[in-house]
Amino acid sequence: MSRLRTVLGLVVSAVFLWAALQGQSLSDVWDTLTHANYIWIIPGILTYFLAVVARTWRWHYMLRSIQPVPLRTLFPIVTIGYMGNNIYPARAGEVLRAYVLKKRAGVSMSASLATVVIERLFDGVVMLLFVFVSLPRLEVLPDWLRQIVVLGSVVFLGALVVFFALAARPARAQALYRWLIEKTIPIEFQGRVHGLADRFMGGLSALRRERDVLMIFATSLVIWLLETVKYWFVMHAFPFEVSFYALMLMNGVGNLATTIPSSPGYVGTFDATGIAVLTAFRVDRSLATGYTLILHAALWFPITLLGLFFMARESIRWSDVNRAADTAEAGAVP
């Protein structure tokens, strides 16, 4: 199954890359890259790390009902997790993040993964908000991008409703999943699965209080606005200009597309959608391609390098990363 998912991800990335580069003059793209003013990437990267700090604070806020963990402990763990997402398939970095948190602070992996799932749901909701804020501009997009938006809306909003329902009625939810476990899981494994489910439910506690939900949403909004500001800074390295709303649309659609299984680092899915959005706003295709590739690299390399640094400092071995990746593929969380 692991190999199948890896192969599928590579195929999906290849298809999206082919779509992104089809009919392009690579010499024109290269000319765009060689004439870019790369000094603008520096404030873009600094802005991106402000967003990482905001992500760390959001996770700190969500974990406090399970176990308070200092921000200085969480920041390296967050960067290690994003590094893992960038180099391993199946978003194994999320499991790696939970693994390192358990190692450093003793927090149950299933409980911390519940908070990570909530993060992803709120990220998806904010991406949809970005898209709908730019709704009058949505008509310029090709049909396949609009279909990604529709699919993303169904997945993220549907999942959020389910998780709110579970969090609002924990006793009823517990009775339901205990009944399912007893009916579908061999008796020798039922105790372990019950424990996993109970700890996961504990991680949903942040959804039970309106104030917590508002704080998580507000922080998610700040995170993604900061990331869009990075898009804006990197845009100034190239000779074109689109509105901030257009960049919000690019951010929203591009990150919704990264939920499609692909190779590590979201190669192809991010690039094809970014290029398509910009060309829909009449940016020259070679400029759109050069910008999107540099933006993707500026999003990928800094957090990956910092994650590798913290990984070495925390004395985490590659066998730990492989174990987390295998856990992600198997769907088994201690």
pLDDT in tens, 213-244: 899 999 999 999 999 999 999 999 999 999 99
Helix residue spans in 22-142 (DSSP H) = 26-34, 41-63, 71-87, 92-105, 109-133, 135-138
DSSP state letters, 259-293: TS--SGGGTTHHHHHHHHHHHHTT--HHHHHHHHH
Separation between Cα atoms, residue 13 and residue 331, nearest integer Å: 23
Separation between Cα atoms, residue 284 and residue 282, nearest integer Å: 6
More confident residue, 88 or 53: 53
Q: Letter for the amino acid at 106?
A: G
More confident residue, 161 or 195: 161
Query: 132 near 141, Cβ under 8 Å?
Result: no
DSSP state of 155: H
Q: What is the pLDDT of residue 321?
A: 63
Separation between Cα atoms, residue 301 and residue 220, nearest integer Å: 22
Q: What is the pLDDT of residue 226?
A: 97
Q: What is the pLDDT of residue 318?
A: 67
Q: What is the pLDDT of residue 332?
A: 47
Q: What is the pLDDT of residue 234?
A: 97
pLDDT in tens, 279-298: 988 999 999 999 999 999 99
Q: What is the pLDDT of residue 331?
A: 47
Q: What is the pLDDT of residue 109?
A: 84
Tokens at residue 91, please? 């978003």
Minimum mean pLDDT among 13-17, 250-254, 289-293, 305-309: which range? 13-17
Dihedral Cα 320, 324, 326, 329, nearest 10 deg = -170
Q: What is the pLDDT of residue 259?
A: 77
pLDDT at 334 over 70: no
pLDDT in tens, 139-189: 667 777 777 777 877 887 788 888 788 877 888 888 888 888 887 888 777
pLDDT at 50 over 80: yes
Mean pLDDT value of segment 52-77:
93
Minimum mean pLDDT among 125-134, 153-162, 257-266, 323-332: which range? 323-332
Domain ranges of the chain: 2-330
Phi, psi of 204 (to 5 degrees): -85, 5
Average pLDDT in the chain: 85
pLDDT at 322 over 60: yes
The pLDDT confidence band at residue 2, using thresholds 50, 70 and 90, is low
